[in-house]
Chain A
């Protein structure tokens, strides 16, 4: 993100570690859940970028992964199912100096929240969207999700899913997202680097993360991904080439690519709105109209 919080005083800033971003309570995720790796990477990336907890706002919806703000030391909003991006957009416009990081799952973001996913991407809202994609509904004990593969047997598809899955990467690129990446919770070091880039990116950044559900999805396990994932940067992928990015994102066989698929610079929503002044977040302004503003309003009514 291009905007940063100014130092609140002249005191020397003590470097923080990932441990400083640990929340009040320990995660209640199942042992072995991919989300631990994601939380770990997010804590590391914020520490390595030198961010302070009070400068960050994490926003989530509902689901196992949406519990993340409670496990992370920063301002947080644990909102309604599917609505995290809408709330986060309002919060970012209300105080554009905050680093807004949205966390959630595939059902929350691509299913019930799909409309907001599309429009937040096209608006290029300056926030980072971290999706823990486990291709299943976990908190409701294992039903099909928008990213479940064809044929997958779940409690709501006992004879196998007959619906094609949604591809978050190509969807995001088509919708106008300006930073689109894929990570794997089993590779925290790589994920940390992606998150750092995403947070530093000015505009809407998506990181879709394979974060296997150890309890309800036995098809797409940690081992499944471990033997298939391949980093785009090892192949010299051109991140400005959206067509190749989409082709590579469509592969879901023996090779599944991770890394940064696509990035471009474009004006952000906040940056395009003159009412957002650099040092005057809307939420912190003194309320009330001045005489000149009032005069203009009344004159138009006469």
Chain B
């Protein structure tokens, strides 16, 4: 783990509707304003009321990439949370709860139980006041001055007026004072980082990256865990001059995006696997009509409706095989929230240059987690290259939309220009857009057009940065992961290094084009290779094998809906070093 001198995790558990997000948000804001790094993961279910919601908030004075392995402060908003999590707490941790309605279980040695007499202390009859009181009590445990919390509450509730601020401050004060009088605080003071940090989710990073890339048209049908992109776009549409539409279904979404893209807009959409399944025919139509469009698939546990609020990397083969026919599309799996942002302008430049569809694959963990980011690391003015796009002027040269050029790339004129009149078609067509089936299905023309489209991609891999090995080349094990497992593998490698186990890491971001030769070269020097992925069948491994012919020494896979945390990988590496096993599946700690 990226060990800072200050590194702790607060977990808040309760049922949906109990208002877990608000105390989480108040605490998160306190830390990022002090310049501390944040990584949150919310384990939740597809219900609006009830169930068990569990929010992890990890803060650290160093950059962090996961929500970590431990919980330092557990805030129980209901009995269920106490029952499920008390036995998982470690020595040196605190458990805060409302003693009026929650009975503690048997706490292990070194765990400080912190009961709050909410009714007795409360100056408010608001049923959510226990949350604010717990935040007050937790602030003392964390060693924060009350003034810091008061400022944060004032900012959080300023839109609701002074009365709401006053009520929350007095409830928080009661919890804080009770905590001072009765509980022993954390023995470290909360440090301050160099500059305040901002907070975003992976979905917001994708949306912002799209906006920075110049997206002018965004369409979506709501679907967890991709809806955050729609919400950000809708909120910012008028500030940024982006047309944002919620459409009747994902088929309509994808086709609308293609229509807008044809007129010159940079256009995109986001969904999860089920919605993407509906979009797939349109993906092929963008390839055939040679219209650039970007599709985001935020994966959740499948198949079918699956586990709507849980993470998985099970859609890789879906995006690889999306749509009928034999054609190329870009597929990219960003590795971190910042990478989500940076990927969007990069992908738009590529899809514009090669006039084809591009697919971004993320997952619930990366898209819905909330993370700190230094605002000066966000480049809102990235390089924009539209390729051979014609948006003005007129022509008298007998323009052909699908001119068979040396590179396979044909200049693309948008509708509305004089002299460039043409039809784009999902039917196979000739250079001048005439359908092949309009004369007779000419095999020579068909071959020419297939080769023209394919030729575009011959050189595309030169535009893609090859993957790089992180860590020492002579490690005992090389871990390969793709997309969102970047962070957890990185932290596991650090923990293993501290324990004297040398492991290196080959993170993969670009799925298509795939740097098979570079990967083969790197892995040929590895002592042992273990693939880490969040799916049962090892979709990435099977893809890598099909592209490179490589086989590996073992696997670490997880497919229970919850994301990997660092010790899952650490345990897996140790298991592989201890004996010859094919696949290590870590056990997800949970009291059911």
Contacts and interface: CB of A to CB of B under 8 A. Distances in A.
Given A282-B217, A289-B212, A76 B242 contact: no
A97 B416 contact: yes
B187 interface: no
Contact of A94 (B267, B427, B434): B267
A285 B422 CA distance: 22
Contact of B438 (A25, A80, A87, A285): A25
A165 interface: no
B37 to A, nearest CB: 15
Interface string B396-432: 0000000000000000001111111111111100001
B243 A282 contact: yes
Interface string A7-49: 0100000000000000111001000000000000000000000
Interface stretch (A113-121, A146-154, A198-206, A239-247): A113-121
A95 B216 CA distance: 11
A62 B265 CA distance: 25
B261 interface: yes
B237 interface: yes
A261 B349 CA distance: 48
A287 B214 contact: yes
A119 B267 CA distance: 21
B421 A75 contact: yes
Contacts of B267: 90, 94
A78 B289 CA distance: 9
A79 B285 contact: yes
Contact of B380 (A23, A75, A297): A297
Interface string A103-119: 00000000000011011
A93 interface: yes
B339 interface: no
Which secondary structure characterizes the binding site on chain A? mixed
Contacts of B289: 77, 79
Interface in A269-289: 273-276, 281-285, 287-289
A223 interface: no
- With most chain A CB atoms within 10 A of its CB, the pick from B242, B263, B426 is B263
Contacts, number: 216
Contact of A90 (B258, B378, B421, B433): B258
B117 interface: no
A57 B281 CA distance: 22
A283 B241 CA distance: 11
B382 to A, nearest CB: 9
Nearest to A112: B251
B26 to A, nearest CB: 15
B255 A83 contact: yes
A78 B252 CA distance: 16
Contacts of A218: none
Contacts of A281: 263-264, 416
Given A79-B285, A87-B258, A283-B414, A289 B381 contact: yes
Contact of B251 (A5, A58, A77, A86): A86
B254 to A, nearest CB: 8
Given A283-B216, A283-B264, A90 B420 contact: no
B255 A288 contact: no
A302 interface: yes
B512 interface: no
Contact of A78 (B256, B261, B415, B427): B427
B423 A76 contact: yes
| Interface range on chain B (Cβ under 8 Å from partner) | 35 or more
A97 B381 CA distance: 29
B456 interface: no
Contact of B418 (A54, A95, A282): A54
- With most chain A CB atoms within 10 A of its CB, the pick from B249, B380, B386 is B380
Nearest to B418: A54
B252 A115 contact: yes
A90 B248 contact: no
A88 interface: yes
Contacts of B245: 93
Contacts of B386: 287
Contacts of A91: 259-260, 262-263, 415
B404 to A, nearest CB: 17
A69 B426 CA distance: 12
Contacts of A83: 251-252, 255, 282, 285
B208 interface: yes
A57 B256 contact: no
A140 interface: no
A8 B208 contact: no
A143 interface: no
Contacts of B434: 24-25, 70
Contact of B381 (A273, A274, A294, A296): A294
A88 B208 CA distance: 26
Given A53-B421, A91-B263, A288-B384, A293 B256 contact: no
Given A116-B252, A297-B211, A94 B217 contact: yes
Given A78-B426, A298-B378, A283 B265 contact: yes
Contacts of A193: none
B377 to A, nearest CB: 11
Interface stretch (B81-89, B196-204, B577-585): B196-204
Nearest to B253: A86
Contacts of B265: 94, 282-283
A57 B217 CA distance: 19
Contacts of B260: 90-91, 93-94, 282-283
A89 interface: yes
A155 to B, nearest CB: 21
Interface in B350-409: 373, 375, 378, 380-381, 384, 386, 391-392, 394
A229 interface: no
A94 B435 contact: no
B159 interface: no
Contacts of A119: 247-248, 252
Given A97-B416, A287-B384, A294-B380, A90 B375 contact: no
Interface of B: 33, 196, 198-200, 204, 208, 211-214, 216-217, 219, 236-243, 245, 247-249, 251-253, 255-267, 281-282, 285, 289, 373, 375, 378, 380-381, 384, 386, 391-392, 394, 414-427, 432-435, 438-439
Given A58-B423, A70-B423, 6 more contacts: A23-B423, A79-B258, A79-B285, A79-B289, A91-B262, A302-B196
**Cβ-closest 10 pairs across A and B:** A90-B259, A287-B214, A283-B264, A94-B263, A76-B423, A283-B263, A86-B255, A90-B256, A301-B198, A75-B415
19 contacts: A24-B433, A62-B426, A77-B262, A80-B255, A80-B426, A88-B259, A92-B259, A93-B245, A93-B260, A94-B243, A94-B264, A115-B248, A116-B251, A273-B243, A283-B263, A284-B391, A287-B214, A287-B266, A289-B211
